[in-house]
Amino acid sequence: MNQVLFSPIAIAGLSHHTATVDMLEAFRFPDEEAFLRKAKDRFRGILLLQTCNRIEILAHGEASSLVSLLQEEGREDFSVLSGIDALRHLLELAAGMDSMIIGEDQIIGQLKTALDFARERGCASPVLELCVNKAVHAGIEVRKQTQINRGAVSIGSAAVLLAEEQLGSLEGKRILVVGSGEMGMLVAQALAAKQLTAIYVANRTYGRAEVLAKKIGGKAVRLDDLPRYMLLSDVVISCTSAPHPVIHCDDLKEIMRGRCWPLEGHPRPLILVDIAQPRDVEEGAEAIDGVHLFTIDSLRQINENTMNSRKSEAAKARAYLDDELAHFIRLLNGKAADDTLAILHTWAESIRTRERDRAISRIGTGDERTREIVDDLTRVLANKILSDVTFSIRLCAEEGDLDYAESLVAAITRGERLCFRNKE
């Protein structure tokens, strides 16, 4: 099969591979809807994926146009992939092969959510939807056929492992989770298996904190009460979606003064794990006595350990994705034949309706039932006649020969000479 892609596909952005937390934060689009609205006029389809360790834009359009748009938006130092390379990256992304925590499952839901967001705003072209849905399907299947996610952890559960490493054990500890969204749920689920003295769940919406706390046997906390419960906790894991810090240095200084043991000059240590993007903990917190701050960058070592234990499964996963890529290209190229097929079917429909009307006219003023029968008959005949040639045209496109498909349609509809395929 010729390695050619007829639909222009491009992906641009940056991730944990080359970007620090600060770089990701600077690159992020705080108003996703405004960005899609601007991009919608330039691309047939556009999707924005923003997670705690990556920002990527998938476009049904030319890579050069995507680069221009991002530069206009003041974004720099991003990577760009187009065509088959973009498809390969999308498959690896959905399979968890490109994640900080190799094999993590959260990316599947994040891709679906990004597609839904784009679709609701009229930014998801049929080609873009096909790309994401195919990648999601491949991501699910690769996890079934390999053990790439066996023992895998999400960013949330990796944060729990990091806290456990710092304390030696979480048994008997008090943990505060700030944020009750998807990431907060992952953190809480990982904590629920530990022998903790208490789990506190804080959220801007108290009702959501109550729901999550009830699921894990914890206690819901109002965001205004954060300082009080930070004073009580051994570990704070923060993962809100707030656009600004929710844990401030002034509050932390006061909290750490309250954590000082009598007769000792230093406070009881407080482990802060900030896995939010943008960050939840105000800059400078790590300089406060007794505060041990960890961010997404701190989780890289956990990923390295996880990947080392799964090299053989990763090889199996890549072999599966190579096969899926070939199928992916065929699907997209087949989709590219739609415009060519539309010409054929429009031509056939014009003939069908003309001859239908002539037949009905010859019958005379037939009743409505007769008209329906003639209409159904001509429609069925046209579809039957076009069935095989439609299949052939789409097959030509799938195999990378759209020129021959277009030549075939021109020969049928305009009587042009058929350009024979090069069989070399």
Q: Which structural domains are found in the chain, ordered by start?
A: 9-151+323-333 (3.30.460.30), 155-305 (3.40.50.720), 337-414 (no CATH)
Question: Do the Cβ atoms of 351 and 408 come closer than 8 Å?
Answer: no
Instruction: Phi first, then psi: give them for residue 338, nearest 5 degrees.
Output: -60, -45
Tokens representing 233?
Answer: 């906790």
Residues with catalytic annotation? 52
Asked whether the bond before 8 is cis by omega within 30 degrees of 0, the reply is: no
Q: Is 14 helix (H, G, I), strand (E, B) or coil?
A: strand
Q: Is the pLDDT of residue 373 over 70?
A: yes
Task: Of 111, 142, 132, 144, give the one whose Cα is nearest residue 328.
Answer: 132
What does the pLDDT look like over 200-214, one tens digit per residue? Answer: 999 989 998 998 888
Which backbone phi and psi does 422 adopt, to 5 degrees?
A: -80, 115
Three-point CA angle 404, 408, 410, nearest 5°: 115
Cβ neighbour number for residue 55 with a 10 Å cutoff: 22
pLDDT digits (tens, 9 = 90+) for 175-227: 999 998 878 888 887 887 788 888 899 998 999 899 888 888 889 999 999 99
Q: Any residues with CB less than 8 A from the CB of 366 and at least 6 apart, and which?
A: 360, 374
Integer Cα distance of 213 and 21 in angstroms? 29
pLDDT attached to residue 1:
43
- Check residue 281 and report its DSSP letter: B
3-class DSSP assignment, residue 292 = strand
Q: How many residues does the chain have?
A: 424
Residue type, 389: V
Residue 194's pLDDT is 80
User: What was the pLDDT predicted at 13?
Assistant: 94
Alpha carbons 199 and 176: distance in angstroms, whole number: 6
What is the C-alpha to C-alpha distance for residues 280 and 365, in angstroms, rounded to an integer? Answer: 77
The share of the chain scoring above pLDDT 90, in percent, equals 38
Segment 326-366, tens digit of pLDDT: 888 877 877 777 777 888 888 888 888 898 888 888 887 66
Lowest mean pLDDT among 8-22, 80-94, 287-301: 287-301
Burial call 263-296: b when 16+ CB within 10 Å, e when fewer: eeeebeebbbbbbbbbbbbbeebeebebbebbbb
Most confident of 31-45, 136-150, 174-188, 288-302: 31-45
The residue that leads in pLDDT, 71 or 158, is: 71
Q: Are 147 and 313 in contact (CB under 8 A)?
A: yes
Cβ pair 58, 128 in contact under 8 A: yes
CA dist list (Å): 316 to 95, 143, 311, 383: 12, 10, 9, 43
